[in-house]
Amino acid sequence: MSTSYLIRNVSVLGGEPTDLHLRDGVVVAVGAVSDPGDGGVETIDATGLVALPGLVDLHTHLREPGREDAETVESGTRAAARGGFTAVHAMANTEPVADTAGVVEQVWRLGREAGHCDVYPVGAVTVGLQGERLAELGAMADSAARVRVFSDDGKCVSDAVLMRRALEYVKAFDGVVAQHAQEPRLTEGAQMNEGELSGKLGLAGWPAVAEEAVIARDCLLAEHVGSRLHVCHVSTAGSVQIVREAKARGVDVTAEACPHHLILTDELAATYDPIYKVNPPLRTRADVEALRAGLADGTIDIVATDHAPHPHEDKDCEWSAAAFGMLGLETALSIVQETMVDPGLLDWAGVAERMSYAPARIGRVADHGRPIEVGAPANVVLYDPSVRRTVDPTESASLSRNTPYRGMELPGRVVATFLRGRPTVLAGALV
């Protein structure tokens, strides 16, 4: 396979069409190239395509080890490449839990072997996600996987003392605690957003305050100990406001929104189709609008997918018995185009910031999230915003099929993804 790609007539971050030359893993030219000066170069006509830096996901569930029926590192990273991602952070809620150097190194090594995108394991904050004792944070940070993001995602670190200790501990290696903000007592048995509709449907409600109370507390804790805090999957208008106020006070807090919370609302629960069951739950139209506004003004720093594959037996059942979670990697960029770019809330430079630069910064990943400029690692995605496609779950690279967008028409398509100059996706297909 060629190691030299001349991408003609491409719009870098939505700018005027130009050329982009990738060779031996790095960007060697941005601007009109008359003679690439090498014989083995492969030319790609990118007329109409936008070039973005390779996307970085701070929140992916790859399920390996333990639930290889739902996803593997191999299949999940193929889905990531198809979505335009060159790096993903793999959440720790595997079986066994990624709470030791051994498990995070295993996940990191599987990612290297698969080679579709770089995998950065997230380490658990507490042993077994049990919320009782801190896991070996230092050993995971010092391991070959170089863990910098720690999260009990799927569960909240609800004990304030443990959360404080974790925030203090990760400062030693410039780590960050990514909190799944869900007050457990306020959400016992909760199934969907708490409101008039949950009452009508007879599904136990999940109040916004269960998320907001934990975010408020953690912002105060992070301020108190002078540490970095990241808030996973912000889903309510109140949460956006709390993060906004904390940032204004100078708290070192970052936050993510998931594509599904930018487009879907709790009204979908009326179908009783568990494809729409997710943690945190789909909220109201007003929450969706607040998330979009927060993402536009930078209160919400990043879009993270929370790609959560589940096999059909865990989803094709009664609502209350079904698992929480939905696929996200292959549709994230299209949802962001639909909800943020097309309505004029974000330009392509803004998308690069929210889906590449900022997540790489938060995760302390040096080789990703770099502007497309000469000398940078050639992590690049070519995206066609002009086409529309109907989502067909059977076309997914994931082992699971639980996309809430099945049958929906979405804009845009990833045409090519380059990881260090090597295509992982070309002409819209996995290489």
Ligand X SMILES: NC(=O)N[C@@H](CC(=O)O)C(=O)O
Catalytic residues: 306
The reply to whether 175 sits near ligand X by the rule CB under 6 A is no
Q: Is residue 17 within 8 Å of 8, Cβ to Cβ? A: no
Cβ atoms < 10 Å from Cβ of 32: 10
The reply to whether 325 sits near ligand X by the rule CB under 6 A is yes
- Nearest-angstrom CA–CA distance, 80 and 77: 5
Nearer to ligand X, 57 or 153 (CB): 153
- Structure-token pair, residue 165: 């200790």
Nearer to ligand X, 319 or 324 (CB): 324
How far apart are CB 63 and ligand X at their closest, in Å? Answer: 8
Question: How many amino acids of this chain bind ligand X (CB under 6 A)?
Answer: 11
Site residues for ligand X, 142-161, by CB under 6 A, read 153-154
- Nearest-angstrom CA–CA distance, 7 and 241: 42
Residue of 93, 198, 236, 398 that binds ligand X (CB under 6 A) = 93
The reply, when asked if residue 418 is annotated as ligand binding, is no
How far apart are CB 179 and ligand X at their closest, in Å? Answer: 12
The reply to whether 121 sits near ligand X by the rule CB under 6 A is no
The reply, when asked if residue 306 is annotated as ligand binding, is yes
Read out DSSP for 25-90?
TEEEEES--S----TTPEEEE-TTPEEEEPEEEEEE---TTT-TTT--HHHHHHHHHHTTEEEEEE
Would strands 205-206 and 229-231 be described as parallel, antiparallel, or unpaired?
Answer: unpaired
Nearer to ligand X, 20 or 275 (CB): 275
Q: What percent helix, strand, coil does the chain show, rounded to 5?
A: 35, 25, 40
Query: What is the Cα Rg of the chain in Å?
Result: 21
Residue of 77, 151, 254, 279 that binds ligand X (CB under 6 A) = 279
The reply, when asked if residue 109 is annotated as ligand binding, is no
- Nearest-angstrom CA–CA distance, 371 and 259: 23
Would strands 253-257 and 229-231 be described as parallel, antiparallel, or unpaired?
Answer: parallel
The reply, when asked if residue 287 is annotated as ligand binding, is no
The reply, when asked if residue 224 is annotated as ligand binding, is no
How far apart are CB 182 and ligand X at their closest, in Å? Answer: 8
Residue of 74, 211, 256, 306 that binds ligand X (CB under 6 A) = 306
| 3 state DSSP class of 176 | strand
How far apart are CB 323 and ligand X at their closest, in Å? Answer: 6
Cβ atoms < 10 Å from Cβ of 3: 16
- Nearest-angstrom CA–CA distance, 56 and 365: 9
The reply to whether 187 sits near ligand X by the rule CB under 6 A is no
Give me the 247-276 binding string for ligand X, x by CB under 6 A, dash otherwise.
------------------------------
The reply, when asked if residue 279 is annotated as ligand binding, is yes
Nearer to ligand X, 278 or 351 (CB): 278
- Nearest-angstrom CA–CA distance, 203 and 185: 17
Nearer to ligand X, 94 or 356 (CB): 94
How far apart are CB 286 and ligand X at their closest, in Å? Answer: 22
Q: Give the residue ranges of the annotated binding site for substrate.
A: 61-63, 93, 279, 310, 324-325
| Residue ranges that bind ligand X, judged by CB under 6 A | 61, 93, 153-154, 180, 278-279, 306, 308, 324-325
